[in-house]
């Protein structure tokens, strides 16, 4: 995997006159896992949306390699995979169709065999043709997680990826994150779940009044 570095420089953001974080500096390189922590409403999702290019109303700068992201936005977005807080699956489509739809959005044709393999890896073998509306919450989350198998991007930005996942699924996803980092990828995630120690896990804890702690 090519080496890369995402840097947040003096990031500050407020919502409704409340500072979520102020002068936040961090960097993430290939091989690292960064966990964003903090209580409900502290700004974790907001920060992930900023990092994934979905929100622009913040101060400070994001850099990709040695360039401001504003200058290399397309290249940056082509290197990241964002999975949001909600699974984002289309209820009327089957898991196979959902994956084909995600791939089409990403401009990838892909193959049905690869989509089947991805579904099997997340434990959905046998459910590939069931409309997503009939799947459980954890199974719908697994459809979204199958994108990690299908779309090879070095930087994963994952908002609460363990939500609704059972114990075995949690362990499998932890292994998946670690394997990605060991291959030189990196992961930025939020979770309220207690993670098994994951390789080189680093943390940013968001707190009251824009304060934060980096560990
Ligand atoms: N579009 C918006 N307009 C106004 N306020 C917003 C908006 N989005 C988020 N906020 C506010 O920003 C704060 C941070 O929200 P955010 O979703 O980032 O928190 P979080 O740390 O991810 O919380 P949780 O642990 O509950 O998921 C909240 O007080 C929320 O109400």
- What integer best gives the mean pLDDT of the chain? 93
pLDDT at 54 over 90: yes
Both 26 and 75 in a single domain?
Answer: yes
Q: Which atom of ligand 1 is nearest to the CA of 85?
A: 27
Ligand 1 is surrounded, with C-beta below 6 A, by 15-16, 20, 38, 40-46
In a domain, 98, yes or no: yes
Closest CA to 152 of 97, 59, 78: 78
Query: Please, are residues 156 and 186 in contact by the beta-carbon 8 Å criterion?
Result: yes
pLDDT value of residue 3: 80
Residue 198's pLDDT band, with cuts at 50, 70 and 90, is: low
Both 26 and 73 in a single domain?
Answer: yes
DSSP letter assigned to residue 126: T
pLDDT at 199 over 80: no
pLDDT, tens digit, 9 for 90 and up, residues 123-164: 999 999 999 999 999 999 999 999 998 988 999 999 999 999
CA of 48 to the centre of ligand 1 (A): 11
In a domain, 45, yes or no: yes
Q: Which atom of ligand 1 is nearest to the CA of 206?
A: 21
Domain extent, residue 169, equals 1-79+153-215
pLDDT, tens digit, 9 for 90 and up, residues 4-27: 899 999 999 999 999 999 999 999
Q: Which long-range contacts (CB under 8 A, 24 or more apart) does 120-127 make?
A: 121/146, 121/149, 122/146, 122/149, 122/169, 122/172, 123/168, 123/169, 123/172, 124/95, 127/95
Q: Whose CA is nearest to atom 6 of ligand 1?
A: 15
In a domain, 1, yes or no: yes
Q: Which atom of ligand 1 is nearest to the CA of 15?
A: 5
Domain boundary among 137, 152, 167: 152
Q: Whose CA is nearest to atom 31 of ligand 1?
A: 41
Instruction: Write down the pTM of the prediction.
Output: 0.95
Residue 193's pLDDT band, with cuts at 50, 70 and 90, is: confident
Q: How large is the average pLDDT for residues 37-61?
A: 96
Both 4 and 106 in a single domain?
Answer: no
Both 70 and 115 in a single domain?
Answer: no
Q: Whose CA is nearest to atom 28 of ligand 1?
A: 41
Both 100 and 144 in a single domain?
Answer: yes
Both 56 and 126 in a single domain?
Answer: no
Q: How large is the average pLDDT for residues 201-210?
A: 87
Q: How large is the average pLDDT for residues 43-51?
A: 97
Q: Using most ligand atoms within 8 A of CB, pick from 43, 57, 162, 190 the residue to mutate for ligand 1.
A: 43
Residue 194's pLDDT band, with cuts at 50, 70 and 90, is: confident
Both 37 and 103 in a single domain?
Answer: no
- Report the CATH number that the domain containing residue 6 is assigned in CATH: 3.40.50.300
Q: How large is the average pLDDT for residues 187-197?
A: 86
CA of 81 to the centre of ligand 1 (A): 21
CA of 38 to the centre of ligand 1 (A): 12
In a domain, 185, yes or no: yes
Both 74 and 3 in a single domain?
Answer: yes
Both 71 and 165 in a single domain?
Answer: yes
In a domain, 35, yes or no: yes
pLDDT at 119 over 70: yes
Q: What is the ipTM of this complex?
A: 0.96
Residues whose CB is less than 8 angstroms from the CB of residue 187 and which lie 6 or more positions away in sequence, other chains included: 32, 33, 34, 155, 156, 157, 158, 177, 180, 181
Task: Report d(CA 149, CA 122) in Å as an integer.
Answer: 9
Both 105 and 32 in a single domain?
Answer: no
Both 71 and 158 in a single domain?
Answer: yes
pLDDT value of residue 58: 97
Question: Any idea which of 37-46, 176-185, 201-210 has the lowest mean pLDDT?
Answer: 201-210
Q: How many structural domains does the chain have?
A: 2
pLDDT value of residue 167: 92
Q: Whose CA is nearest to atom 17 of ligand 1?
A: 45
In a domain, 84, yes or no: no
Both 75 and 162 in a single domain?
Answer: yes
Task: Report d(CA 143, CA 88) in Å as an integer.
Answer: 9
Residues whose CB is less than 8 angstroms from the CB of residue 5 and which lie 6 or more positions away in sequence, other chains included: 27, 28, 29, 30, 63, 64, 65
């Amino acid at each position: 995997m090519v080496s890369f570095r995402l840097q947040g420089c003096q990031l500050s953001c407020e919502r409704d006159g409340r500072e979520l974080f102020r002068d936040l500096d961090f960097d993430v390189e290939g091989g690292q896992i960064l966990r964003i922590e903090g209580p409900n409403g502290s700004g974790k999702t907001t920060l992930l949306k900023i990092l994934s290019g979905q929100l622009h109303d913040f101060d400070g700068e994001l850099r990709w390699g040695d360039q401001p992201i504003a200058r290399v936005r397309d290249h940056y977005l082509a290197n990241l995979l964002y999975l949001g807080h909600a699974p984002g699956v289309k209820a009327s489509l089957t898991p196979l169709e959902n994956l084909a739809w995600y791939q089409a959005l990403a401009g990838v044709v892909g193959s049905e065999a690869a989509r089947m393999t991805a579904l099997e890896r997340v434990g959905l073998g046998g459910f590939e043709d069931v409309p997503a509306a009939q799947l459980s919450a954890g199974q719908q989350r697994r459809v979204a997680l199958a994108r990690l198998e299908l779309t090879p991007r070095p930087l994963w930005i994952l908002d609460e990826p363990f939500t609704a996942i059972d114990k075995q699924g949690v362990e499998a996803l932890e292994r998946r994150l670690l394997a990605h980092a060991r291959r030189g990828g990196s992961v930025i995630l939020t979770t309220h779940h207690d993670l098994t120690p994951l390789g080189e896990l680093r943390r940013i804890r968001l707190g009251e009044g824009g304060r934060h702690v980096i560990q």
